C-alpha cells in the first residue's frame, strides 16, 4: 500500500490545507466573515471545510476534483488568499 504521509502537515497527522479562502460581507471590510480551506483526503477526494468566523462551527463538503471545489467556492463569494 502506498504511503499517504504527503497528505499530512504535522506529526500529529492533522491534514494540511491546500489553500485559504476568505469571504467578506462588504468590499471595504478588513476582517473576513467566513473562512474556507480545501484538503486532499486519504481517499483522494477534496474536502472543503468552511466556517463563519464569529461562530467557528465547521461545515464540510466533499468533491471529486479540486476544480469542482473551486467552482463551488467562487460563486459563494470566497476569494483565494493562498498566495
pLDDT at 49: 96
Give the closest residue to 69 by CA, choosing from 49, 51, 53, 52.
49
pLDDT at 26: 84
Q: List pLDDT tens digits, range 44-58.
A: 999 999 999 999 899
Residue 2 counted as domain residue: no
Residue 52 counted as domain residue: yes
Q: How far apart are CA 63 and CA 69, in angstroms?
A: 6
- 26, three cell numbers: 462588504
- For the chain, what is the domain count? 1
Range of the domain at 48: 15-80
pLDDT at 11: 53
Per run of 10 residues, the mean pLDDT along the chain (length 83 residues) is 44 75 89 95 93 92 96 96 88
Residue 5 counted as domain residue: no
Amino acid at each position: 500500500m502506498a504511503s499517504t504521509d504527503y497528505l499530512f502537515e504535522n506529526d500529529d497527522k492533522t491534514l494540511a490545507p491546500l489553500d485559504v479562502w476568505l469571504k467578506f460581507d462588504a468590499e471595504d471590510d478588513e476582517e473576513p466573515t467566513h473562512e474556507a480551506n480545501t484538503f486532499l483526503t486519504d481517499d483522494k477526494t477534496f474536502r472543503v471545510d468552511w466556517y463563519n468566523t464569529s461562530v467557528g462551527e465547521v461545515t464540510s463538503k466533499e468533491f471529486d476534483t479540486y476544480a469542482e471545489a473551486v467552482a463551488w467556492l467562487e460563486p459563494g463569494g470566497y476569494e483565494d488568499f493562498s498566495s
